Amino acid sequence: MAISRETFATGLTIDQFIDGMEVNKDRFQENIQLNTLSFGDRQFFNDRPVSIAAFGEDWCPDVIQFLAVVAKIAEEVPSVTLRIFERDSGDNLKLMEPYFKDGQHQSIPVFVVYDQDWNELGWFSERPAEIYKLMATETQRFAKENPQLDGVTRTYDNMPEETRIAVRENSGNFRWGNQLEWNQLFLDEFKAIVGGAPVAAG
């Protein structure tokens, strides 16, 4: 199911998305304000008017981090239009289906970019590849240094709840401790899509 101009127009504005948030609202708003765009960044997007369809949910850390970056771009650059579709609402999952990670995973956020003639320039899913590597390394480090946690070397879904909470807390601390650097990694990949680089799928 392609995203038409008409369908795009039915998406939420950033203010509407924020108004409807049930969790992470304060952090998301703080993240938007924390992001800064250089003069070069603003000029880059100003010279390339685009429409961005974003898929996300307020409980997802990657959405809270990286949608905030795109929201900042749309806030500061009039030629960038952002509309947000809650993945689990209505037919939005069906709308997102062409952008499933590896063709099967419903990973979010997803950003689909269109030029002024409504040509799809590319899309981005979840997080930059470099961040996957950094998070995997940190997870391994945490497991090695905390062998007392039952099942810490298992996959996340197979850990006991107490261990899962500890791993999640460490991952969160690691993420937000590296937020600005990771935002830049994301921005670099996103600019490559807007600039016409091959499709990116996270």
Examine the domain organization and report whether 166 and 79 are in the same domain: no
How far from 159 is each of 124, 136, 141, 155, 171, CA to CA, in Å?
Answer: 30, 16, 16, 7, 15
Q: What is the pTM of this model?
A: 0.93
Domain-located, residue 199 = no
Cβ neighbourhood burial of 71 (10 Å; 0-12, 13-18, 19+): buried
Residue 2 confidence (pLDDT):
76
Tell me the average pLDDT across 22-43: 96
- pLDDT above 60 (res 93): yes
**CATH code at 71?**
3.40.30.10
Examine the domain organization and report whether 54 and 152 are in the same domain: no
Examine the domain organization and report whether 83 and 145 are in the same domain: no
Instruction: Name the token pair of 132.
Output: 């996957």
Nearest Cα residue to 59 out of 40, 37, 87: 87
Nearest Cα residue to 87 out of 109, 65, 120: 109
Tell me the average pLDDT across 118-125: 96
Residue 197 confidence (pLDDT):
58
Domain extent for 22: 5-127+179-194
The residue type of 8 is F
Higher-confidence residue of 196 and 189: namely 189
Residue 200 confidence (pLDDT):
41
Domain-located, residue 28 = yes
Question: Mind listing the pLDDT tens digit for each residue in 34-63?
Answer: 999 999 999 999 999 999 999 999 999 999
Side-by-side strand order, sheet with 80-86: 80-86, 50-56, 110-114, 120-125
Tell me the average pLDDT across 67-80: 98
